[in-house]
Structure 1
Amino acid sequence: MAKALLGHVGGPDPRMVAEMRRLQQRVRDLEAELVRLQTENDALATASDGDAVVPLGVSDREPALT
Structure 2
Amino acid sequence: MAKALIGHLHTDRRIPARLAQENQRLRVRVAELESLVLRLQVENDRLVEERAVAALEQEMLPA
TM-score, normalised with respect to structure 1: 0.59
Over the aligned positions, Cα root-mean-square deviation in angstroms equals 2.3
Q: Which runs of 4+ in 1 moved over 6 A?
A: none
Using the aligned pairs only, state the percent identity: 32
User: Greater helix percent: which structure?
Assistant: 2
Closer, same or farther: CA 30–10 of 1 in aligned 2, 3 Å: same
Gaps of 5+ in 2: 56-63
TM-score normalised by the chain length of structure 2: 0.61
Q: In the alignment, which of 12, 31, 45 is matched to residue 34 of structure 2?
A: 31
Structure 1: gaps (5+ residues) = 51-66
Greater Rg by CA: 2
